[in-house]
Chains A and B, each alone.
Chain A
Amino acid sequence: AQSVTQLGSHVSVSEGALVLLRCNYSSSVPPYLFWYVQYPNQGLQLLLKYTSAATLVKGINGFEAEFKKSETSFHLTKPSAHMSDAAEYFCAVSDQDFGNEKLTFGTGTRLTIIP
């Protein structure tokens, strides 16, 4: 069974500061890992994904994440926060070995940007 833990349901950072959103996963088989962003009253948009190629993954809007197997982590970072980054961020995992590859989501982290 898969699971995702996102530490910190709410994170606040100042505009221009480093953004770090934490994600740890549990999976009995090699995982695919994803970060999705949800803006108010909108659906989920993919930021980036790890699919067993490079461990450092770059996504849209300047975000990146590093897969660390030894720490079972996939933390999301951005060097300099922008006001438009305020949203809810979800980490998700799916198994590589099953055809339907359903997503198991974490509880989400709401990111607030302080002007």
Chain B
Amino acid sequence: EPEVTQTPSHQVTQMGQEVILRCVPISNHLYFYWYRQILGQKVEFLVSFYNNEISEKSEIFDDQFSVERPDGSNFTLKIRSTKLEDSAMYFCASRLERGGNEQFFGPGTRLTVL
């Protein structure tokens, strides 16, 4: 069964460093998302991506964040200069089409900023 994959499963970084979180969505899906979940809190939307551009972003997704789909298979989230409060589980999701179709989530990357 097709699935969304994410690497790495755990990333530890120093404050101020850049990190890139990688996702491989399901191959024929058209809509891509990043969410995050701070420990003990709810899952929050960060950004959605369709047709090679951002379609919506939340207030959390400031200038330190960027997304890219460089090669038609990977979907990356870059945090330019990490802060302590960026420590969270980051989930990638993908969806085939509109109309209430399921978003398939990856297993997540746990980012720890020291």
A residues near B (Cβ < 8 Å) are 32, 34, 36, 42-46, 49-52, 90, 92, 94, 96, 98-108
Contacts and interface: CB of A to CB of B under 8 A. Distances in A.
Contact of B50 (A51, A100, A107): A100
6 contacts: A46-B103, A46-B104, A98-B56, A100-B56, A101-B98, A107-B41
Contacts of B43: 44, 90, 92, 103, 105, 108
Interface of B: 4, 31, 33, 35, 41-45, 48, 50, 55-56, 91, 93, 95, 98-100, 102-108
Contact of A103 (B98, B99, B103, B108): B103
Given A44-B93, A100-B55, A107-B41, 18 more contacts: A42-B107, A43-B105, A43-B107, A44-B43, A44-B105, A50-B100, A51-B99, A51-B100, A52-B100, A92-B43, A100-B31, A100-B50, A102-B56, A105-B42, A105-B43, A106-B42, A107-B42, A108-B42
Contacts, number: 62
Nearest to B46: A102
B100 A94 contact: yes
Most central of A43, A52, A104, A108 by chain B CB within 10 Å: A43
Contacts of B44: 105
B interface majority secondary structure: strand
A102 B105 contact: no
Contact of B48 (A32, A92, A102): A102
A35 to B, nearest CB: 11
A101 B95 contact: yes
Given A96-B100, A101-B100, A102-B56, A43 B106 contact: yes
A31 to B, nearest CB: 9
